[in-house]
Amino acid sequence: MQMKREKIINVMCIFVLFFIFLNVNAQNFRTQGEQEAYWAKQIFEKEYTKQQHPRYTGRIIQVDDTTFLFGVRRLEVYSFIGEDYKQVFSLGILYPDLFSGNCRIISFFEELNFSKEYTVKRLKLLAFHEISGQILINPTVYFIELTNPNATETTDLKTFIKGASLTFIKQGWLRI
């Protein structure tokens, strides 16, 4: 009886220590947006390695306002992507081969404001993939970095993108 009681106390102590550890290391976020902003910053702080991705060299056809063809691969661009950001596709900076799986739709470009350099823009975007002819409803979050070494404080977005190269791309998480 004494032995069983000691085991129970030991297990309880382990649980208490575990929950104290979780509470001490937990971040308190008020919204999912705050949590995702924290994760995004962590990706750039802990997993960032400067990369150099060449522009797409094949033929790019803009079929309509939202659809681009890269050879035989089709990519649709929707929701909150301004005309200036669409240039990353028409200029071949971003293209389907850069994304894992069968990426079919790109949506919701959001500039991340924790880089203070004029020559760098870091962005979060959503990529929707196709499996067996069906577009998945849960997008994958991706992070990209565009670098334009000639940009200044007054460079507008369109000019920035025209002279930019893709210097980082990283798959984040599946948004549920």
User: What secondary structure does DSSP assign to 131-149, as a single string?
Assistant: ETTEE-SSPEEEEEEEE-T
Q: Residue 162: its pLDDT value, please?
A: 97
* Residue of higher predicted confidence among 26 and 20: 26
Q: Residue 1: its pLDDT value, please?
A: 57
* Residue of higher predicted confidence among 66 and 17: 66
Pairing mode, strands 103-112 and 134-135: unpaired
Contact status, residue 39 vs residue 28, Cβ threshold 8 Å: no
Q: Residue 18: its pLDDT value, please?
A: 40
Q: How far apart, in whole angstroms, are the C-alpha atoms of residue 147 and residue 164?
A: 5
Contact status, residue 84 vs residue 116, Cβ threshold 8 Å: no
The mean pLDDT value for 49-53 works out to 96
Q: How far apart, in whole angstroms, are the C-alpha atoms of residue 37 and residue 153?
A: 24
Q: Residue 23: its pLDDT value, please?
A: 42
CA atoms within 13 A on the CB side of 135: 12
Residue-wise pLDDT for 102-139, tens only, equals 899 998 888 998 778 999 999 999 999 999 988 989 99
Q: Residue 12: its pLDDT value, please?
A: 43
Q: Residue 5: its pLDDT value, please?
A: 52
